[in-house]
């Protein structure tokens, strides 16, 4: 791996920002660039760097892929509007669900999302806008995990031998590729992003599809989205690195109103970690776990079983897919 990591102790955020703004400006020249904002800390930091460098010559999009958390598109757009950045929402739900139809293999699902995102949606946006560059928030851990063969992070292209110019018709610029999450957080803070953004727990590129085992359908996403909302509400003050809900493929026998109910299973994970490379499950209070099980089985239609993962990473990974 040729990219040189900048460790958090060596990072001088103000200096780094100046360098990256200059770099983006010099690469794009007087041309146009586009970027996708998901509302996570990585893409948020890159959006601000890009706007500092290019102003209106950077078009920022929120890709509504149908796989995001509840209310996310509106929330993110409003937040950036307050920061003076206009974000256009692109409705690509149908395209993503069509690409995911019938797939249950994790890497095939990731590949389908990558292709839909880069080739179909961004290929089109780039052609329509006349942009030649895509700015994105790939970080050092994304590259490392993909190169090591742990998981194909959806934003990794060049390191897998993909020539974006030839395959998708644009070049990719990755201003934060030398930083890990902790570095990106301190950068985001220095860029003036609000704490709810720079301290936000990580969220995967493939979004809730990374938390659905088996086929990803609108209905299965709705189930995991509803469970996610409850998990985030209950665990947002836990101080954990990341917390999530996973929808299993297998059904289990449950009982409701005295009748057999062959229902769905939700698995909860909550992680202590510094950089997501290794992780330990949080020792959550039992009462909190009980509360989670109670709320999820009451409020998420079809769920009859809730479990808590107590496996470390490795051998587990943070996400299920
Ligand atoms: P895993 O599941 O590999 O996750 O242990 C490590 C960290 O990365 C996040 N994650 C992703 N982030 N694109 C991303 O930008 C992805 O494709 C992706 N997959 C996993 C995950 O949430 C965790 O913080």
Backbone angles phi, psi at 304, to 5 degrees: -120, -5
Average pLDDT over every residue of 39-54: 97
Helix pair 13-28, 181-190: axis angle to 10 deg? 90
pLDDT computed for residue 157 by the predictor? 81
pLDDT tens digits, one per residue of 185-226: 999 999 999 999 999 999 998 999 999 999 999 999 999 999
DSSP state of 313: B
Output phi, psi for 306, to 5 deg: -130, 130
Q: How far away, in angstroms, is 133 Cα from ligand 1 center?
A: 24
Q: How confident is the model at residue 1 (pLDDT cuts 50, 70, 90)?
A: low
Q: What are phi and psi of 272, to 5 degrees?
A: -100, 125
What's the whole-number average pLDDT of the chain? 95
d(CA 35, CA 265): 36
Nearest atom of ligand 1 to the alpha carbon of 316:
5
- Whole-prediction pTM value? 0.91
Write down the residue that tokens 């460790």 correspond to: 7
52: pLDDT strictly greater than 70: yes
H helix runs in 59-139, sequence order: 72-82, 93-100, 106-115, 122-129
Q: What is the pLDDT of residue 134?
A: 95
How many angstroms is it from 37 CA to the middle of ligand 1?
Answer: 16
- Convert the pLDDT of each residue in 9-43 to its tens digit: 999 999 999 999 999 999 999 999 999 999 999 99
Give CA separation, 229 vs 97, 200, 320, in Å: 21, 15, 17
Backbone dihedral angles phi then psi of residue 317, each to the nearest 5 degrees: -115, 175
d(CA 245, CA 266): 6
DSSP-derived letter for residue 314 is T
Ligand 1 residue neighbourhood (C-beta within 6 Å):
142, 145, 150-151, 153-155, 202, 204-206, 210, 242, 276, 313, 317-319
| Tens-digit pLDDT profile for residues 98-114 | 999 999 999 999 999 99
| 252, two tokens | 């289990």
**Closest residue by Cα to residue 275 from 320, 309, 241:** 241
Distance CA 270, CA 242 (A): 6
């Amino acid at each position: 791996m040729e990219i040189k990591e900048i460790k958090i102790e060596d990072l001088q955020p103000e200096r780094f920002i100046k360098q990256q703004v200059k770099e983006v400006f010099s690469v794009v020249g007087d041309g146009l660039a586009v970027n996708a904002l998901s509302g996570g800390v990585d893409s948020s930091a890159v959006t601000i760097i890009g706007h500092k460098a290019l102003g209106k010559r950077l078009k920022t999009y929120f890709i509504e892929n149908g796989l995001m958390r509840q209310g996310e598109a509106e929330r993110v757009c409003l937040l950036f509007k307050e920061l003076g950045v206009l974000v256009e929402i692109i409705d690509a739900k149908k395209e993503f669900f069509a690409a995911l139809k019938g797939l249950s293999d994790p890497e095939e699902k990731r590949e389908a999302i990558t292709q839909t995102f880069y080739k179909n949606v961004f290929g089109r946006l780039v052609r329509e806008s006349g942009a030649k560059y895509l700015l994105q928030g790939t970080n050092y851990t994304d590259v490392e995990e993909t190169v090591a063969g742990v998981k194909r992070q959806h934003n990794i292209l060049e390191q897998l031998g993909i020539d974006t110019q030839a395959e998708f018709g644009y070049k990719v610029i990755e201003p934060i590729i030398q930083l890990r999450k902790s570095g990106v957080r301190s950068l985001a803070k220095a860029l003036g992003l609000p704490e709810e953004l720079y301290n936000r727990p990580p969220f995967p590129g493939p979004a809730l599809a990374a938390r659905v085992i088996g086929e990803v359908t609108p209905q299965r996403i709705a189930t995991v989205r509803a469970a996610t909302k409850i998990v985030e509400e209950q665990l947002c003050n836990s101080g954990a690195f990341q917390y999530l809900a996973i929808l299993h493929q297998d059904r289990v026998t449950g009982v409701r109103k005295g009748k057999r109910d062959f229902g769905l299973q939700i698995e909860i994970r909550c992680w202590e970690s510094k950089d997501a490379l290794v992780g330990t499950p949080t020792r959550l209070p039992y009462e909190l776990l009980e509360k989670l099980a109670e709320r999820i089985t009451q409020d998420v239609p079809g769920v009859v079983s809730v479990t808590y993962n107590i496996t470390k990473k490795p051998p587990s990974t943070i996400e299920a897919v």
